[in-house]
Structure 1
Amino acid sequence: MYRFAESTADAGGTMGQTAARPLRADAERSVRMILEAAERLLSKDPGASMEQIAAEAGVSRATIHRRFAHRGALTDALALSAARRLAQAVDDGRPATAPPLVALHRITANVLEVKGAWTFALSLPAAPGSEAAALHETMAQSCVAVLERARAEGLVDASADLDWLQRVYYALLGETLHGDPDDAGTDPDALAARVVDTFLHGAGPRA
């Protein structure tokens, strides 16, 4: 879905070499720590240096430069890792097999959880032709497929413009992430219920 992410070793793009199993596990762990630290730090300070990210991750400068040759490689890996997480969140909602209303709620809750945790990474543009771009396109197709099934079951009007509905749904997701963090109803399931209810019924009075 909307810029709807885990093989962190692959996300690093620098770990294709054959290695003994314990070393690979250690390498995967360091990549994961670096990506998580990059998300935390860059969401607060987009200009943070590689050295600052290494310190946040608790690894040496040599380690971060061994895993990522330059800053662009790190942000590319960050965007891809987040896209994979998001794609998994969508898949876990069973867009093609769960009842449309169930799928819509599950996907919404899952996506809100991932997007809330990876705000910076998911704001990064996916390079045309990249795996991240392909994942986002697949997620967009899943969104339309769920909406088509919802329309077929009468959850939305038969004449509804699905492209427009998709944009409205994305907008609701985006605005939901800008909510009040002190709101008691900010757990993903509660927020998903709000989003789906507003999406399907608008602000009009309930029968």
Structure 2
Amino acid sequence: MSADAGPRRLRADAERSTARILAAAEEVLAADPAATLERIADAAGVARATVHRRFSSRKALLEALTGVLNERYLCGLDQARVATAPPVAALYRLTELLFELKVGSRAIMELTADPATQMTPLSPEVTAGLELLFRRLHEAGEITATDTAWCFALYLAVVHEAAQLPANSPMLGTEAGDVGARADLTYRTVLAALGGGRPPAEPRAGRTA
């Protein structure tokens, strides 16, 4: 056995226990946002000291969950193929994925949200992916706005507001499922707001597989 096999095994064990803690934290905090680190440790099946060693405070745990959410955002950007797919198709697919993510991670998103924006802070990698998408939309003539930071800030604000609509809102119509209806509304609203009056392309005609 090599001299560094022991340290590698310890690191792997630490990574596995951290993953268990974060998974348990999502489940426990979704049911009870005020749950303690001790309850999360019990749900994860690890010693309470282990949780406190990995996360010195509740704030540190929420920061780690913010990182988990950003990884999911990155996965969504990759699945939407924001760098290679037709940009309107990438925008629509990303929008669908964001609403699916909101359904599955709503409680954690609320806990990790910045009070000023009501949204989870984005990592530089996620920000770069969103800027790339809106830059490509402008280059393709789909929008006229040129400030990519403002474009994706508006986009995320519309996603947030659409996610808050009740299921019976007339804004959502009756033809699509819940995620599809919210994606359609967001897609059309954002392109209309950023496109200088140009009618948005039909989203489903250009969707990626």
Number of the residue aligned with 2:36: 49
Moved more, 170-179 or 108-117: 108-117
The count of aligned residue pairs is 179
**Structure 1 residue aligned with 2:159:** 173
Give ranges in structure 2 of 5+ residues lacking alignment. 1-5, 115-119, 201-209
Deviations 1:64-116 (A, max 9, x none): 34554543442232221221121221122111111101111122222222233
Cα deviation code 1:134-179 (max 9, x no counterpart): x6222222222212221222212x3565444323211111112223
How large is the RMSD of aligned CA atoms in angstroms? 3.6
- For the residue of structure 1 that corresponds to 2:141, the secondary structure is coil
Per-residue CA deviations over 1:168-204 (Å, capped at 9, x if unaligned) read 21111111222335787223x44323211221236x9
After the TM superposition, list the runs of 4 or more consecutive aligned residues in structure 1 that deviate by more than 6 angstroms: none
Question: Residues 45, 102 of structure 1: CA spacing in aligned structure 2 closer, same or farther, 3 A cutoff?
Answer: same
The runs of 5 or more residues in structure 1 that have no matched partner are 1-15, 127-131
SS of equivalent to 2:72 = helix
- Quickly say closer, same or farther: Cα 1:159–1:199, change in 2 above 3 A: closer
Q: Which residue of 1 aligns with 2:177?
A: 185
Question: Residues of 2 paired with 1:165 and 1:80: CA distance?
Answer: 23
Quote the sequence identity (%): 35
SS, match of residue 118 in structure 1: helix
Report the TM-score, using the length of structure 1 for normalisation: 0.66
Kept after mapping to 1: 8 A contact 2:135/2:146: no
Say whether residues 1:198 and 2:184 are aligned partners.
no
Q: What's 2:203 paired with?
A: none
Bigger RCO (CA 8 Å, 6+ sep) = 1
Larger-gyration structure (1/2): 2
TM-score (norm 2): 0.65
Letter in 2 for 1:147: F
Give the structure 2 partner of residue 10 of structure 1: none
